[in-house]
């Protein structure tokens, strides 16, 4: 289980959803939330998001667990350098953050893009991962919302600043048509879209968004898939959570991943969209808590990993 006695270091501010702390890694500021004491849970947000997306569940989880929720590089209050925004780079950065703040092992929870990063973390550094939880995860199929596909097209760098401008956002008359075309739910999906567009008013965040998105999505859909390596998760306790009404990434991806991952669990949230942790925070916390309490942390030796790789030949 995770080390719950990590050093509190750097600047930190108390607020709902945990203390916001900062640390400098490789010369770049990394902001993260931390709350509670106990076995460690890592929460990884999606593209154009931040740790703020987890605030509805952090305080409840912190009653039993140490919760760590970083702002990924290029997002939120973390630095936004020109650099590597691949899944592998994100996974390595999170590994370094965990080590720097004193957490050796975690149950890793990833939403959307964060799900792809969570799978990459478990693939690159299985010794760091007790369990894997995928929430409306990317990287499990081709289909994805037209909004994300459109944002990868040439010239999107010039369109995004217009959409993210204060004048357009405040006008609001374009939102109805946009939501209608995308099939987004009013509520959390719309709220998070608004928050994402607001964050892209910052040039650094916009650059990171485009770099990250183009590394995983093209005009035809998601171009990075973990499906050929899901067999490696058979000895990693895995929970897959999805909103039944998700129109960003279809719940079918989760169901198919569940079938390909022996021993995994799959649960959907009725009426929830792409952000089930915001649409049903209490249900999300119950599902995650039950999963952790009823499973043993993964212990995969190098020898066993070699065996699994050869079994997959």
Same domain membership, residue 234 and residue 86? yes
Structural domain that includes position 136 = 12-142+224-311
Beta bridge partners of 42: 68, 108
Which of 13-27, 61-75, 103-117 has the lowest average pLDDT?
13-27
> What letter does residue 101 receive in the DSSP assignment?
T
Edge-first strand order for the sheet with 106-111 is 12-13, 19-25, 28-35, 66-70, 40-44, 106-111, 129-135, 238-243, 265-269
Distances, alpha carbon 184 to alpha carbons 27, 121, 137, 149, 209, in Å: 38, 29, 17, 15, 20
Residue 5 resides in a domain: no
Give the model's confidence band at 85: pLDDT under 50 very low, under 70 low, under 90 confident, else very high. Answer: very high
**Residue 290: partners with Cβ closer than 8 Å, 6 or more residues away:** none
Provide the CATH number for the domain around residue 125: 3.40.50.1820
Same domain membership, residue 206 and residue 136? no
Radius of gyration of the chain from Cα atoms? Answer: 18
Give the residue from 190, 218, 246 where a domain finishes.
Answer: 218
pLDDT tens digits for range 238-292? 999 999 999 999 999 999 999 999 889 999 999 999 999 999 999 999 999 999 9
- Cα angle 108, 31, 292 (rounded to 5 degrees) comes to 20
pLDDT tens digits for range 289-313? 999 999 999 988 888 888 878 887 5
Same domain membership, residue 134 and residue 250? yes
Same domain membership, residue 113 and residue 255? yes
Same domain membership, residue 302 and residue 167? no
Total number of domains in the chain = 2
> What letter does residue 82 receive in the DSSP assignment?
S
CA–CA gap between residue 62 and residue 221 (Å, rounded): 36
pLDDT for 183:
52
**Can you give the pTM of this predicted structure?**
0.87
Same domain membership, residue 124 and residue 38? yes
Residue 67 resides in a domain: yes
Same domain membership, residue 152 and residue 137? no
Same domain membership, residue 235 and residue 207? no
Give the residue from 218, 240, 264 where a domain finishes.
Answer: 218
Catalytic residues: 112, 246, 274
């Amino acid at each position: 289980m995770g080390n719950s006695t990590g050093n509190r270091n750097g600047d930190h501010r108390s607020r709902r959803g945990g203390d916001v702390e900062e640390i400098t890694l490789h010369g770049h500021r990394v902001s993260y939330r931390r709350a509670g004491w106990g076995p460690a849970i890592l929460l990884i947000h999606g593209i154009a998001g931040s740790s703020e997306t987890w605030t509805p569940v952090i305080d409840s989880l912190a009653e039993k667990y140490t919760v760590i929720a970083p702002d990924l590089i290029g997002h939120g209050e973390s630095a936004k350098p020109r650099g590597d925004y691949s899944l592998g780079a994100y996974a390595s950065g999170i590994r370094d953050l965990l080590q720097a703040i004193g957490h050796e092992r975690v149950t890793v929870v990833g939403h959307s893009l964060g799900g792809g990063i969570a799978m990459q973390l478990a693939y690159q550094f299985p010794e760091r991962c007790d369990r894997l939880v995928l929430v409306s995860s990317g990287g499990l199929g081709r289909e994805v919302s037209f909004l994300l596909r459109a944002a990868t097209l040439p010239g999107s760098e010039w369109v995004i600043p217009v959409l993210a401008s204060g004048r357009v956002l405040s006008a609001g008359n374009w939102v109805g048509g946009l939501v209608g075309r995308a099939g987004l739910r009013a509520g959390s999906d719309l709220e998070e879209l608004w928050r994402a567009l607001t964050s892209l008013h910052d040039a650094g965040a916009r650059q990171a968004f485009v770099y990250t998105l183009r590394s995983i999505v093209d005009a035809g859909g998601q171009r990075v898939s973990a499906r050929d390596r899901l067999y490696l998760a058979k000895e990693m306790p895995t929970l897959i959570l999805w909103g039944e009404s998700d129109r960003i990434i279809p719940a079918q991806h989760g169901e198919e991943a569940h079938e390909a991952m022996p021993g995994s669990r799959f649960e959907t949230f009725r009426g929830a969209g792409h952000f089930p942790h915001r649409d049903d925070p209490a249900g999300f916390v119950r599902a995650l808590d039950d999963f952790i309490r009823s499973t043993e942390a993964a212990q995969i030796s190098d020898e066993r990993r070699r065996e699994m790789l050869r079994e997959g030949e």
